[in-house]
Amino acid sequence: MKHFRFQTPTARVSDVIYNAATHSFEATVTFYENGTAVKYACEVSAPITMSFEDATRRLIAQAKRQQKKPGSLQARVFSAPAHANHHRARTPIAVWHRWSHSGFLRRRVA
Q: What is the pLDDT of residues 86-95, one digit of tens each?
A: 556 667 777 7
What stretches in the chain show pLDDT beneath 50?
105, 110
3-state secondary structure the chain: CCCCCCCCCCEEEEEEEEECCCCEEEEEEEEEECCEEEEEEEEEECCCCCCHHHHHHHHHHHHHHHHHCCCCCCEEEECCCCCCCCCCCCCHHHHHHHHHHHCHHHHHHC
- pLDDT for position 110: 47
- pLDDT for position 52: 92
- pLDDT for position 103: 56
